[in-house]
Amino acid sequence: MAKRTYGSTFTDVLKTLFLGRRAATLSILEEEQVQSPYRTMLRNFSEKWSAMLGLYIFLAIFLAVFILPIFFPMDIGFQDPTQKNTKPSSSFMRYSKELDGAAVSIDGGSVFGVGVDASGKIHQWGTLTAKQQKLPTSAAKFVQVSAGLDHALALDENGRVYTWGNDRFTLSAIPPLVSGQRVKQVLAGHQISMALTESGSISVWGNTNLITIPVPADRQGTFTKMVANTTLALATTKAGEVVVLSSKETPFSYVPPEIQGKVVDLAVTERSAAAVTSDGRVVVWGGEDHGVQEIPAQIQGKTVAISAGRGHYTALLSDGTVASWGWNNYKQAKAPKLKNIVSISSAYFQNYAVDKNGKIYTWGLKGYLMGTDQYGRDLFTRLLTGGRVTLTIGAIAVIISGLIGIIIGSFSGYYGGKTDMLLMRLAEVVNAIPFLPLAMILSAIIGSRISETGRISMIMVILGLLSWPSLARLVRGQILAAREQEFVTAAKAMGIKEVKIIFRHILPNVITVVLVNLTLSFALCMLYESSLSYLGFGVNEPNATWGNMLYGCNDSTVMAQYWWRWVFPAIALSLCTVSINMAGDGMRDAIDPKSNDR
């Protein structure tokens, strides 16, 4: 066996130092001689699979909560009761394949859709309750359908009306006036139903305590189309006029006088209304609603039909193309480039377009990856933003406690004597202060007097100021052991200042132990913040953290029926803290490999 020469050994050492340990083949003893303590620690850490798994999981969560919110921003003021407690799904617009190429009528509900094909058969898709799945039957063909919040209406070729789904508030009781006449349009709204007869009369039934839609008696027999939102309804007449069906004056009441007598189509969002005039122009009035007043210039003079969702409009143009504008939180106002479209339907956050061959095109809200909460807010975006807040609070609190603990522990361990006695007694006093009760008291006393940013800052500072004693004692013990070593004596003999000796000579030799402690403290600070928010004394709504997301689930009904509201935040918080602890334990074992044998 050939002996290794001095020259080859020196070359291998250089390769190891500058190119990594895999660039040269060394024996175990040779590796230990040329590797720094940091490289040895990294090698030991990388060889521990649980530590690496924890590191990868934490990095994945960290990157997700700090990068993904750029692409999935959270609207802090968003609330929508029509989307509340919606379970995870991506099927809101996943229509039946039998309907594609044969669609006659199609409409979207809050979290579901309904359509009729050329054979008169009804199709449903999306998130459906048990009552919604019981479709009506008729000997005649169905020709029109309408979907509402959680119920639907259908109209057959003989003008008869059918309803299914939510049957509360007399929704299932079709009025005799409707049953005895031939109906040409049905409309399922927000806990109400409406029917327009061929004679031009409108009937309303359902939860009239929630929505009151009075129909003027002198206008009955003149209506041609009706639309509604969650508060009122509007209708067009044979004379091309708009009639507002509301018991009180609203911004909708101020219909532009120049369009009266020229209206051919009508649509309504939650805060505004839009009409298409006989010359193809679109006019919007009412309240400012997510930019709906900014009508695209290219559609003016070319529009033949219009439909609306919660806060957006979609127009069908004379050349068979479509255009959408307004609220675009779910891409519902970003219409694709289509052609040969003959009908459109917009509702809530979905859009449907049907071409001359019956083929269906969709855009808008497909569903929620993690469902929604009690206010209709997307849990996925709140989980990302909440994770960023929770991690930031934990990280800054650890930085504050780390700086205080390192400084106090270093001076205490190096100088000893009275300095050590004073600083360690201070650490014991601080350590005796219970964090949660103190934070709850301060939050109750001054929490309402400061902004949410100030409240978050207060939590970070309190966490940092109360969690340094354990680190200070750890640093003190390490400094006490290191200050008697020869390199410290040599530094003193050279006249180096004591502060430099502490922080430039001694501290770098014990920093690995400090990093382990800070890593484990990071997970603890995250749990403290989440505990505060869970108890209602931390970050408040509508700001999101993992803790206050769990606080909103502190109810037996939520735990039993809306599992997604607590499962996903709990998994995120558990994964993050467990991964940090796994990485911290691995770092501790890498620094002291003999700890595994004890």
263 forms beta bridges with: 277
Q: What is the pLDDT of residue 35?
A: 55
Give the three-state DSSP class for 487: helix
Could you tell me where the beta strands, DSSP code E, fall in 310-386? 312-317, 322-326, 341-347, 350-355, 360-364
Task: Measure Cα distances from 214 to 204, 237, 245 in Å.
Answer: 8, 16, 6
Q: What letter would DSSP give residue 371?
A: -
Measured CA to CA, the distance from residue 444 to residue 81 in angstroms comes to: 30
pLDDT for the residue 23: 45
What is the 3-class SS of 148-201, one letter each residue?
CCCEEEEEECCCCEEEEECCCCCCCCCCHHHHCCCEEEEEECCCEEEEEECCCC
Burial of 37 (0-12, 13-18, 19+ CB in 10 A): exposed
Q: Is 594 helix (H, G, I), strand (E, B) or coil?
A: helix
Averages of pLDDT over runs of 10 residues in the chain (598 residues) are 45 46 50 59 81 91 93 89 93 91 91 93 93 89 94 94 90 86 93 94 89 91 94 94 92 94 95 95 89 92 95 95 94 94 94 92 95 94 92 89 90 88 90 80 72 79 86 88 82 83 80 81 83 75 86 84 93 91 83 56
Domains of the chain, earliest start first: 36-69+378-592 (1.10.3720.10), 253-367 (2.130.10.30)
Q: What is Dmax (Cα atoms) for the chain?
A: 112
Distances (CA, A) of 275 to 229, 235, 286: 15, 11, 12
Structure tokens at 291: 């930019």
- In contact, 198 and 181? CB cutoff 8 Å: yes
Q: Quick one: pLDDT at residue 112? A: 95
Q: Which amino acid is at 144?
A: Q
pTM summary value: 0.83
- Structure confidence at residue 381 (pLDDT): 95
- Separation of alpha carbons 155 and 196, rounded Å: 11
Give the amino acid at 186.
Answer: V
Q: Rounded to an integer, what distance in angstroms lies between the CA atom of residue 235 and that of residue 225?
A: 5
